[in-house]
Amino acid sequence: MKKVILLLVLAFSAFIAQAQTATLKAGDTAPDFKLKNVNNKEVSFASFPKAKGFIVVFTCNTCPYAVGYEQRIIDLDKKFSSQGYPVIAINPNDPEASKADAFDKMQDLAKQKKYPFPYLFDAGQKVTDAYGAKHTPHIFIVSKTSKGNVIEYVGAIDNDPEGTKTEKIKYAEDAIAALKSNQKPAVTQTKEIGCSVKRKAKA
């Protein structure tokens, strides 16, 4: 009997864990947020009234994969912000679990690299959990529709984390290109290795 109870408890906690961290998929509503930017101003989807959509990317200061993609994220904003798809970067890491990802360090990096996009601090990791972002970088491409903000693509920026290939498959760019011609992206989900989101150790 004890075993049965234990199993039930385990199954239930597994279910809870699942519920908290399930990653949103194409077709899901993109949860809105209001988070503090490195310039201390709050940013939400409404901060971009003219946008047709958004490139929401969970990224951080420290992960080698995030560092490897940093310039490509800047380039995405430079290319697509003027076309109606600005980048909104969100740091999903807990500042205690990863001190080098603390807010002042985010400010330093944004300044040093002249980030053309907002770089937001997710206090309490609420937005991270709402999107189910798992690792950095983790990208969510969102379109503004009559039914609200909808997720169109989730996963990797391209298929070349190390940045050594001459021929890349640029998933994020392809997805936006499809949206701009009023089509659904051909690929709506990809997988990516990355640094898992840093969380406080559980007591």
* Positions that interact with other proteins (CB under 8 A): 23, 63-64, 68, 134-135, 156, 159-162, 164-165, 169, 190-196
Collapse the DSSP code of 21 into the 3-class scheme (helix H, G, I; strand E, B; otherwise coil) and give the result.
helix
- Which phi and psi (to 5°) does residue 142 adopt? -120, 140
CA distance 106 to 93: 11
Whose Cβ is closer to other proteins: residue 145's or residue 169's?
Answer: 169
Residue 160 CB, shortest distance to other proteins, in Å, is 7
Whose Cβ is closer to other proteins: residue 180's or residue 199's?
Answer: 199
Residue 54 CB, shortest distance to other proteins, in Å, is 22
Residue 162 CB, shortest distance to other proteins, in Å, is 5
Residue 114 CB, shortest distance to other proteins, in Å, is 25
Q: Are 167 and 200 in contact (CB under 8 A)?
A: no
Whose Cβ is closer to other proteins: residue 37's or residue 93's?
Answer: 93
CA distance 72 to 108: 19
DSSP 124: G
Whose Cβ is closer to other proteins: residue 104's or residue 162's?
Answer: 162
Total Cβ atoms within 10 A of residue 149: 19
Residue 165 CB, shortest distance to other proteins, in Å, is 7
Collapse the DSSP code of 97 into the 3-class scheme (helix H, G, I; strand E, B; otherwise coil) and give the result.
coil
Whose Cβ is closer to other proteins: residue 173's or residue 192's?
Answer: 192
Single-letter amino acid code for the residue at 166: T
